[in-house]
């Protein structure tokens, strides 16, 4: 399992990348946090970045266990967690099952739908199918289409596209795990740790996400990335670092 790390402070934080990405998502934000006294860890989940492939398709429970094994291997007793979209949901699992290992949870737009069955059916949509690399590079057009959907700058989208290409057949597997997972409303209702929930204003679902938190979480903190997209750690890493230091400082 490959990971990036920076700093030697006493505040451990684990940054988990979004689906189809890798730890390079946090390269700059992690360095900023290290300068603020954090000991930063950003692992590549199995199948992504420079980590090995998983032995099979992992649901959230499989990824959860690899994170716990990662912590044990590095003698990290507990840490703050930051998850982005699919890994925000993964962080909730860790908070539910291993609260003693969690100092705090920051969830960047945890993902779900009012209709769990409709949400689960997304797994069959063409945009979540495996893209098989072709020798002539023809698959790159579809990878770019999936990477450019938030309208970020070309260099930001290109970095995401390279990660999808490197992940190969596993590129959409975190999305599959998300669609196979327990509905977000149920996960939040089981969480005893107070989460910091961050919405991406560009999604246009801020009100829905806060309403869901109100209905299911006994205690929570809610904030918004103004005009932010899921690529914000690449496009504006200082904003991600500022959000983390704001609540975990």
The answer to whether the CB of 150 falls within 8 A of the CB of 229 is yes
pLDDT at 116 over 90: no
The DSSP bridge pattern shows strands 11-16 and 221-225 to be unpaired
Model confidence pLDDT, tens digit, residues 29-75: 999 999 999 999 999 999 999 999 999 999 999 999 999 999 999 99
pLDDT at 217 over 80: no
Do the domain assignments include residue 206?
Answer: yes
Do the domain assignments include residue 72?
Answer: yes
pLDDT category at 13 given cuts 50, 70, 90 is very high
Do the domain assignments include residue 11?
Answer: yes
Do the domain assignments include residue 157?
Answer: no
Whole-number pLDDT of residue 227: 82
pTM: 0.96
Adjacency order of strands within the sheet including 3-6: 3-6, 38-43, 11-16, 79-84, 102-108, 195-200, 221-225
Domain region containing 21: 3-116+182-248
Do the domain assignments include residue 74?
Answer: yes
Residues 6+ apart with CB under 8 A from 74: 41
The structural domain count of the chain equals 1
Do the domain assignments include residue 174?
Answer: no
Do the domain assignments include residue 144?
Answer: no
Question: Does the CA dihedral 88-67-57-191 come out positive or negative?
Answer: negative
Q: Assign residue 51 the CATH number of its domain.
A: 3.40.50.1820
Model confidence pLDDT, tens digit, residues 170-216: 999 999 999 999 999 999 999 999 999 999 998 888 999 999 999 88
Whole-number pLDDT of residue 12: 98
Do the domain assignments include residue 55?
Answer: yes
């Amino acid at each position: 399992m490959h990971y990036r790390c920076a700093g030697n402070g006493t505040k451990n934080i684990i940054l988990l990348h979004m689906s189809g990405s890798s730890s390079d998502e946090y390269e700059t934000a992690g360095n900023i946090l290290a300068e603020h006294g954090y000991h930063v860890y950003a692992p590549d989940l199995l199948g992504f970045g420079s980590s090995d492939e998983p032995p099979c398709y992992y649901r959230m429970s499989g990824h959860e266990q690899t994170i716990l094994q990662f912590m044990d291997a590095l003698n990290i007793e507990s840490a703050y967690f930051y998850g982005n979209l699919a890994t925000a949901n993964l962080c909730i699992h860790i908070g539910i099952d291993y609260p003693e290992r969690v100092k705090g949870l920051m969830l960047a737009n945890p993902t779900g739908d009012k209709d769990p069955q409709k949400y689960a059916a997304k797994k069959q949509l063409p945009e979540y199918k495996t893209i098989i690399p072709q020798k002539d590079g023809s698959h790159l057009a579809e990878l770019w289409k999936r990477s450019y959907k938030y309208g970020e700058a070309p260099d930001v989208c290109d970095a995401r596209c390279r990660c999808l290409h490197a992940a190969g057949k596993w590129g959409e597997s975190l999305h599959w795990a998300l669609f196979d997972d327990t509905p977000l409303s149920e996960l939040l209702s089981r969480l005893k740790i107070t989460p910091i929930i961050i919405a991406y204003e560009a999604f246009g679902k801020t009100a829905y996400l806060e309403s869901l938190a109100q209905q299911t979480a006994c205690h929570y903190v809610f904030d918004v990335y103004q005009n932010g997209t899921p690529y914000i750690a690449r496009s504006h890493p200082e904003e991600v670092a500022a959000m983390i230091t704001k609540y975990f400082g």
